[in-house]
Amino acid sequence: MIVVKWFFLILPVFLTVTASAENALPTNTKARPAWQAVDGKQALAKMAHAMQTLNYQGTVAFLRDGKLEPMKYSHAANRGREQERLLSLNSPLREVVRETGEVSCLYKATQQLVIDQRPFERSFLIDMPNDINQLDAAYGIEMVGEENVAMLPAYVIAIKPKDNLRYARKVWLGRQWFLPLKVVVYDLEGAVLEELVFTELDVKDALPFIDMKPLADGALPSQKSPSGSSAQAAFVMTAIPKGFKEVFFDRKPMHESEQPVDHLLLSDGLASVSVYMEHKNNAQPLVNNDTNGVQSVDAVNFFSHSLGDFQLTVMGEVPSETIRLIADNAKLRVR
């Protein structure tokens, strides 16, 4: 009992001394923390390069809607070829692989393989343009400190939007390899919307590439369609929020229907918004029945409404105001 009392008596003193030591000014007032000499944009540029060229693997935890999902992650790179792999550790067991604009998902229980074309996505961890200067129109980037993640020293970089049309992010970059150890997305009030964090991460000289094949029949590949021009779309964007631009358009069937759906992707270099238009006869029922009802799942907001004989759906990891602004500026194309 005496030992227990002593511990609780000394603990406040210990915490006070520790805090004072951490916050104390260095003896040499000219000395600056190492992170203050590192530029945030340069660090993100190094991250983008490292994510494409290094071989690394580890365990990453995704936090969405209050639910934590741990997964095994690996990235293989060799002579310009890249392959990302996620393997779930909890049910439903599945394996997801991204390579050359194609994402394949194999469900272990049924051995069903689903393939989707996503030429605009670069990583499961965080999308980042090769030219970081593309973010200047919409974001400010700042190095804000150093912390440890998975017992690895990391630079902390804040990506702050210049308006309320997109979310803020923080990225923790490992000092040795400049790989992202932690990424957090914040809503407009500063609350955490999504988070991913590595519990361990190793860089290897090489990692094997795998071939995604189901052990049984039942592969469901999406129909491949070449990227087209948004001039082919049944709708036209009369205005686009500042910083966003059109980066991808295609037309292909969805919902197991033979009727095509127009898909236009908008991006500001970090956040992306998809605009879909399909004929009402083939569309899924409207999610919202009123004119202002933007719905949300985790960090993704979406909105659907009618345009003549068509249904328009806008969805993306951006605030509801951005979704409505884009939806309101999508009009039927006059032929």
How do residues 169-210 score in pLDDT, each as one tens digit? 999 999 999 999 999 999 999 999 999 999 999 999 999 999
The least confident of 162-171, 172-181, 294-303 is 294-303
Q: What is the pLDDT of residue 57?
A: 98
Specify the CATH architecture of the domain 223-332.
2-Layer Sandwich (3.30)
Assign 94 a pLDDT band (cuts: 50, 70, 90): very high
Q: What is the pLDDT of residue 3?
A: 36
- More confident position, 292 or 253: 253
Instruction: Tell me the pLDDT of the chain averaged across its residues.
Output: 83
Assign 124 a pLDDT band (cuts: 50, 70, 90): very high
Distance CA 312, CA 122 (A): 26
Q: What is the pLDDT of residue 253?
A: 79
Assign 24 a pLDDT band (cuts: 50, 70, 90): very low
Does position 302 have pLDDT exceeding 90, yes or no?
Answer: yes
In the chain, residues under CATH classification 3.30.200.100 are 223-332
Q: What is the pLDDT of residue 284?
A: 62
- Residues 202-260: pLDDT tens digits? 999 999 999 876 555 544 444 444 456 777 888 999 999 999 999 889 888 775 667 78
CA distances from 78 to 42, 83, 214, 266 (A): 24, 9, 25, 30
Does position 290 have pLDDT exceeding 90, yes or no?
Answer: no
Q: What is the pLDDT of residue 112?
A: 87
Q: Do 249 and 229 meet the contact criterion of CB atoms below 8 Å apart?
A: yes
Q: What is the pLDDT of residue 171?
A: 98
Q: What is the pLDDT of residue 282?
A: 67
In the chain, residues under CATH classification 2.50.20.10 are 37-204
Q: Identity (one letter) of the amino acid at 13?
A: V
Burial state string for 249-282 with b = 16 or more CB within 10 A and e = fewer than 16: bbbeebeeeeebbbbbbbbbbbbbbbbbbbeeeb
Q: Do 95 and 105 meet the contact criterion of CB atoms below 8 Å apart?
A: yes
Distance CA 33, CA 25 (A): 11
Q: Which helix (H) or strand (E) holds 13?
A: helix 2-23
Q: What is the CATH topology of the domain spanning 37-204?
A: outer membrane lipoprotein receptor (LolB), chain A (2.50.20)
Q: What is the pLDDT of residue 202?
A: 97
For the CA atoms of the chain, what is the radius of gyration? Answer: 23
Q: What is the pLDDT of residue 22?
A: 37
Q: What is the pLDDT of residue 130?
A: 83
